Amino acid sequence: MDETKYGWWLPVDVSVHGARIDQLISVVHWFMLLLFVGWGAFFVYCLIKFRARDGHQATYNPVKGIFTKYIEVAVVVIEVFVLFGLSTPVWFAYKNHPPAEKDAVTIKLVAEQFAWNFHYSGKDGKFGRTDSSLMSGDNPLGLDPDSPEGKDDIVTVNQMHIPVHKPVIIQITSKDVIHSFNIPVLRVKQDTIPGQRIPIWFEATQTGHFELACAQLCGLGHYRMRADVFIDSPEDYAKWEADNTPPPAEAPAAEAPPAPEAPAVPAPEAK
């Protein structure tokens, strides 16, 4: 993994929608800084100018608050602009316009203590049937071995491969407690709620090896609930898909293949 992509400020952004989020963060911080420096200058001026000393007296009558009214109005105006000019449109554009499913790669994700299980539909584009009563250590998704659509499905644990420059839709849920799907470089975050399947989407703009972190306290292994994220070129992605599709003869869903790079943390142990 390229550690130079992470520093003391926002890490590199490799998503299509992320630039506008970063822009909002930046605008809001300049606004905050401006307000704080303005207040701070006035504050320090008052502390020095009006310190108690011999011959100095406080003024009983309040000063007229014309200037403060201007500041308060300015604050309101800027907040309205940030709210309706930036934040709401960004959220609206991102959340209300899912990519068309035919153009996108769709992945199902089931989070559990303390692992991320990815379910790819394989070549046929159809997901095999899953059932929570079939879930076990070997079959974390409860994939039905008799389901014809499931024969070519790919299941990975803590490894997410996605193609670059192609919209990705992930249907996320959890089988036990609430987790949160968080890929800082893609500017995505979504709680995984058991009993709900929530779609999220994004499109990557660069290839590379990044990481997925759990952002919601989910138990003692929360800190190591991490997955590797591989953003592949179209050729690499096709190759990965081909290499990992189970051979047609094999009935049960294949386990995840060994990762190209050893994960930094061990796979989840069964408790």
Partner 1 sequence: MSVEQQPHGTPNAPAIGPETGHAHGELAHAGPDHGHHELPFWKKYIFSVDHKVIGIQYAVTALLFLFFGFTLMMMMRWQLAYPGRPMPFFGRFFSDNVMPGGVMAPEFYNQLGAMHGTIMVFLGVVPLAVGGFGNFVMPLQIGAPDMAFPRLNLLSYWVFVPGGIIMLASFAMPGGAAQSGWTSYPPLSVIASSGQTAWLFGMIFLITSSLLGSINFIVTIVQMRAKGMTFFRLPFFVHAQLVTSFLLLLAFPPLEAAGILQLMDRLAGTSFFLPTGLVVSGEALKVAGGGSPLLWQHLFWFLAHPEVYVLILPAIGIVAEVIANNTRKPLWGYRLLVYSIIFLGFMSFVVWAHHMFMTGMGTTMSTFFQTTTMIISVPSVIVVTCFLMSLYGGNIRFTVPMLFATAFLPMFAIGGLTGLPLGLTASDIYLHDTFYVIGHFHYVVAPGTLFALFAGIYYWYPKATGRMMNSTLGKIHFWWSFVSINFVFMPMFFQGMAGLSRRLYDPTVYAHGRGVQPLNVVISWAAWSLGLAQIPFIINFFMSLKNGARIAENPWNATTLEWMAPSPPGHGNFLTEPIVYREPYEYSVPGAKQDFSPQFVAEA
Site for partner 1 in 166-195 (CB under 8 A): 175-178, 180, 182, 184, 187-191, 193-195
Decide whether 21 or 164 has the Cβ nearer to partner 1: 21
Interface residues for partner 1 in 114-133 (CB under 8 A)?
Answer: 132-133
Interface residues for partner 1 in 144-163 (CB under 8 A)?
Answer: none
The β-bridge partners of 116 are 111
Contact 15, 204 (CB under 8 A): yes
Tokens of 70: 């201007």
Decide whether 89 or 125 has the Cβ nearer to partner 1: 89
Radius of gyration of the chain (CA): 26
User: Distance between CA 141 and CA 109 in Å, rounded?
Assistant: 9
Contact 110, 198 (CB under 8 A): no
Rounded least distance, CB 165 to partner 1, Å: 21
User: Distance between CA 234 and CA 116 in Å, rounded?
Assistant: 23
User: Distance between CA 140 and CA 155 in Å, rounded?
Assistant: 9
Decide whether 29 or 165 has the Cβ nearer to partner 1: 29
Question: Which residue matches tokens 């991102």?
Answer: 94
Interface residues for partner 1 in 47-66 (CB under 8 A)?
Answer: 47, 50-52, 56-60, 62-63, 65
Which SS3 state, helix, strand or coil, does residue 63 take?
coil
260 contacts partner 1 (rule: CB under 8 A): no
Q: How many CB atoms lie within 10 A of CB 235?
A: 9
266 contacts partner 1 (rule: CB under 8 A): no
Among 19, 238, 264, 267, binds partner 1 (CB under 8 A): 264
Interface residues for partner 1 in 87-106 (CB under 8 A)?
Answer: 87-88, 90-92, 94-96
Rounded least distance, CB 16 to partner 1, Å: 14
Among 162, 164, 214, 231, binds partner 1 (CB under 8 A): 214
Q: How many CB atoms lie within 10 A of CB 207?
A: 17
Please give the size of the binding site for partner 1, defined by CB under 8 A. 98
Rounded least distance, CB 235 to partner 1, Å: 26
Among 66, 136, 248, 266, binds partner 1 (CB under 8 A): 136
The β-bridge partners of 39 are none
Which SS3 state, helix, strand or coil, does residue 143 take?
strand
